[in-house]
Structure 1
Amino acid sequence: MGAAAFLMVEYVGISYVEVIKAALLPALISYIALIYIVHLEACKAGMTGLPRRHNPTLVQSLLSFTGTILGLCIISAVVYYGIGWTKDVFGDAATPIVGVALLLSYIGLLRISAKYANEGGIEIDAELNEVPDPGPTIKSGLHFLLPIVVLVWCLTVERFSPGLSAFWATVFMIFILITQRPLIALMAKTSNVAEELKAGFVDLAESLVSGARNMIGIGVATAAAGTVVGVVTLTGIGLVMTDFVEFISGGNIILMLLFTAVISLILGMGLPTTANYIVVSTLMAPVIVTLGAAHGLIIPLIAVHLFVFYFGILADDTPPVGLAAFAAAAIAKSDPIRTGIQASPTIFVPRFCRLCLSLTLSC
């Protein structure tokens, strides 16, 4: 969910950890189902990937997938339980202590990366013609996990706001982006340090330009979403929406959820994830809460927000808008509408499983 999860913290009034708990298991089931369906579609179409240096067995593939998921969980657990105690012991001095530890860890991980670069491993600008071995790839890029450590520390230990936590993680990522090239060149003794330092600043400039371009659409959409929210607040259209759904559903809870899902799907058309959540949570979440309470059904607010958000985000995958379908069609050089129609069953099945489990666990 990314940025939408941070907004959900503000809208629902719960902690970020509680949002993770509510969405984690449904999301895992959704992704497992999605990967399985995509695999079946790829097998049916005879699609193959890049050639591999070594063909892993099924057990190795499962272990690799499981290790990736567990790795992120372990990082979060290590940060919170492993070094979180330093905040209680050292107080305000814990932050600079952890900062020094991060810096030393960064230098140590760069030495590992430089070792693989010196031995002919994967370089930063290397062009891939085959799937590289996961071991050297992971070991040469372990230092990119440190911004995640900073983010988790700020969120769970320092209890910073999501925006401030993301800011410090971004600052550390910028530091890595600038310094990784010259430090690796210095350790591996493969190129000129000054040239690599210049290349690091070039990477930073290109990243800032790319980020600014990507934020233009999000900024405009978010501003438009703010206008919608203002209209809803000032005109009372939210009450009309509630009456409309109640009228066409006839008081039936299942029909109410169905019509709410369809309206959320329509409202989410053409909006990026963040603006999508703002719109559907403002317009449709109060509908479910109000009508559910009117019929004696108390639905947790987090379940309601996850419900409308799941269906609102489907607008990115389904025609006629389907921005994700257009992007996929551009890569596959296919028709966007047919791509969206083809993807619809693939998206609906795992998301429906995730939706049902989310509502069950939340209630």
Structure 2
Amino acid sequence: MDKENKPNNLQEEIIDQEELMAKYDREYSYRRFTNNWKKVITFIAIVWALFQLYTAAFGVFPSTLQRAPHVGFALMLTYLLYPFNRNDKSNRIPFYDYILAFLSVVVTSYHIIHYQRLMHSAGAYTSTDMYISIIAILLVLEATRRVVGPVIVALASFFLIYAYFGKLFPGFLAHRGYSIHRIATYGWLSTESILGIPTSVSATFIFLFLVFAAFLKKTKIGDWLTDLALGITGGATGGPAKAAVVASASQGTVTGSSVANTVGTGSITIPLMKSVGYRKEFAAAVEAAASTGGQLMPPIMGAAAFIMVEFTNFPYLTIAASAAIPALLYFTGIFVMVHLEATKSGLRGLDRSQLPDWIRLLKQKWFLALPIFGIVYFLVKGQTPMKAAFYGILMTIAVSYIRPDTRMSFRDILEALENGARSAIGVALACATAGIIVGIVTLSGLGIKFANGIIQISGGNLYVTMLFTMIASIILGMGVPTSANYIIQATVAAPALVTLGVPLIAAHLFVFYFGIIADITPPVALAAFAGSGIAGSNPFKTGFESFKIAFAAYIIPFIFATSPVLVLVNATFTTVLVAVITAIIGMIAIGGAISGFFVANCRAWERIVLFIAGLFLVHPEKISNLVGLILMILIYFIQRPRIPRHLKGRKKVKVTT
């Protein structure tokens, strides 16, 4: 369903996506050049992308020779594209940004020119090395502030202060302290800090997948997936909302951005949801919750999943497989909430004449999904994620030529390379700054100390430790991108969970999960705020609605951390099948409790019983499953006599499209 073909009343609600993205996502608050600088930016971005593609095809360069240019390109583009103040709309580059861009080239070139000496210096760095390192660290922090935000910069700055004044900190936090020379050179010249594991992953896996996503976008796969979802589910009860869930899940796994996904699919689905009678806060919240969960959805997931490969040493396929059932339960919970809200309010779907013909769409453009399946195939065959993404890009170009309307021109290819590079700026800087934190944690030995400290504070209680970790992940997620949030929590919090007996993969998915759903957690729910901008709803009410809709997401990590069969640890086919079935039924019970409607409007005590039943069913244990099922059946029979009265009085909403 193309935007230009929408009915007039919906057309009026299509908003400026660029404006919304710039408002809620700092990465879109860049200078819009129309002069020769636009060509310069395009050239630099394409060169960066070609550099990354070259290393994907022919092999990566040794450590810092791969990572330093990656960070250098991100720094240079930041100072040319992003103003000191994000509200500066002048689109002119001030003199100091020219200087900062030049210094970015200098500190990067220093690594390349002196590579052999630095690798064999054994830590015996010169004064020049120290000054270059100080400049590099300051450049990274300022660039990150402009693109990512001040929270992670403040956190990294605190850790730098902590490294120097270690003796002044109390208790287990204390350490001997390090000189400025040691902190600076360790931060920029070693492979343990800025150019450590996070940047290594950004400079290999993540960049290629972001370019892959940019190529997919050029084939208009997002529009195709949205139209397909509308065609399949749009005519059902509350159909447009269900279409939003399906479309956002499928798109979110590729885009890896909650806000971008919300704005992209929401510009179509939110007006449609409103047209069939959904409250505007609810419509925006459904899109935000579904879009946020896209990063949890295999096979690709968000950028942090690739970093998890390095932190856990698990193959990417193992991580994707472990994340599959929690992702299924997340979207089941949202789908249930959507259906119950529609049933309770008597909201019908769109008329079939208003929907895309999904069978025709599938016949015409089925090939658009081939690159995604191709990546899965290459991963299963043992290729690295970097190689799989590289082959996926080539496949995307190849399949685009099957139909004239999807065919990529040479200009489209160049634009995809540029867009992929631009989208990598924020991730590269977030990983570099998170690397500072990881480096100081490693240098000072804080990781083990912090894990032991959390356990002491919680009294060794696993649930209290998980609660602390959840709160920390959500708070960090409100001001820090998912990838950086995960890196920090994987370094300081996940080890505490592992020490208390949580399997490694479950502990890392736990912090990954809560870092993502921070985007729909009030008071700073950026994805919900972006959705409210489309719906014209109250942002804070929308944030609260998104919290309610995705409420099950706050429970699932606690379940798989204590019962890891849901992440395929110590699991058999039978135990997994039973756990999935009972958990899905449990999601229905929890949805009924949160929405206040099961098969009829719920009384207060019925909601409590349904919630308890849902928890028992989600927990994969025979006795708890049986108790939960009995409680759920009991509520069904109690409410059954009330169904006729409720349905007789339900609201019928005329579809106005």
Q: Same fold (TM over 0.5)?
A: yes
Q: What residue is the counterpart of 2:469 in the other structure?
A: 260
Q: Does 2:557 align with 1:333? A: no
- 1:201-280 equivalences under 5 Å are 201-280=410-489
Separation of aligned partners in 2, 1:331 and 1:251: 46
Return the TM-score normalized by structure 2: 0.37
Q: What residue is the counterpart of 2:359 in the other structure?
A: 135
Residue identity opposite 2:442 in structure 1: T
Separation of aligned partners in 1, 2:395 and 2:562: 37
Deviation (angstroms), 1:354: 5.6
Identify the structure with the greater helix proportion: 1
Q: Which runs of 5+ in 1 are unaligned?
A: 54-129, 185-195, 293-297
Separation of aligned partners in 2, 1:46 and 1:166: 45
Q: What residue is the counterpart of 1:173 in the other structure?
A: 396
Separation of aligned partners in 2, 1:265 and 1:358: 17
Q: What residue is the counterpart of 2:498 in the other structure?
A: 289
Equivalent residue in structure 2 for 1:4, among 276, 299, 304: 304
Deviation (angstroms), 1:26: 2.5
Runs of 4+ with deviation above 6 angstroms: 45-49
Map Cα deviations across residues 59-80 of structure 1 (whole Å, 9 max, x no partner): xxxxxxxxxxxxxxxxxxxxxx
Cα RMSD, aligned residues only: 2.7
Contact 1:30/1:351, CA 8 A, preserved across alignment: no
Contact 1:29/1:354, CA 8 A, preserved across alignment: no
Q: Does 2:225 align with 1:16? A: no
Helix, strand or coil for the counterpart of 1:33? Answer: helix
Deviation (angstroms), 1:46: 7.3
Q: Which runs of 5+ in 2 are unaligned?
A: 1-295, 571-657
Deviation (angstroms), 1:235: 2.9
Q: What residue is the counterpart of 2:550 in the other structure?
A: 347
Residue identity opposite 1:303 in structure 2: A
Equivalent residue in structure 1 for 2:378, among 154, 170, 186: 154
Q: What residue is the counterpart of 1:323 in the other structure?
A: 526
Contact 1:285/1:304, CA 8 A, preserved across alignment: yes
Contact 2:317/2:379, CA 8 A, preserved across alignment: no
Contact 1:268/1:280, CA 8 A, preserved across alignment: no
Residue identity opposite 1:146 in structure 2: L
Map Cα deviations across residues 296-341 of structure 1 (whole Å, 9 max, x no partner): xx32101111112112222111123322222222222223333222
Query: Using a 3 Å threshold, how does the CA distance of structure 1 residues 252 and 357 change in structure 2: closer, same or farther?
Result: closer
Greater Rg over alpha carbons, structure: 2
Equivalent residue in structure 1 for 2:327, among 27, 32, 35: 27
Separation of aligned partners in 2, 1:332 and 1:166: 35
Deviation (angstroms), 1:132: 0.5
Contact 2:455/2:465, CA 8 A, preserved across alignment: yes
Separation of aligned partners in 1, 2:519 and 2:441: 23
Separation of aligned partners in 2, 1:156 and 1:168: 13
Helix, strand or coil for the counterpart of 1:228? Answer: helix
Deviation (angstroms), 1:45: 6.8
Residue identity opposite 2:355 in structure 1: V
Deviation (angstroms), 1:244: 3.7
Deviation (angstroms), 1:180: 3.8
Query: Using a 3 Å threshold, how does the CA distance of structure 1 residues 271 and 246 change in structure 2: closer, same or farther?
Result: same
Query: Using a 3 Å threshold, how does the CA distance of structure 1 residues 228 and 331 change in structure 2: closer, same or farther?
Result: farther
Helix, strand or coil for the counterpart of 1:303? Answer: helix
Contact 1:270/1:323, CA 8 A, preserved across alignment: no
Separation of aligned partners in 2, 1:167 and 1:351: 35
Deviation (angstroms), 1:168: 1.1
Query: Using a 3 Å threshold, how does the CA distance of structure 1 residues 331 and 39 change in structure 2: closer, same or farther?
Result: farther
Deviation (angstroms), 1:169: 0.5
Residue identity opposite 1:28 in structure 2: L
Give the fraction of aligned pairs with identical amino acids, expressed as a percent: 42
Q: What residue is the counterpart of 2:503 in the other structure?
A: 300
Map Cα deviations across residues 228-251 of structure 1 (whole Å, 9 max, x no partner): 222222233334432442233122
Q: What residue is the counterpart of 1:114 in the other structure?
A: none
Deviation (angstroms), 1:181: 4.5
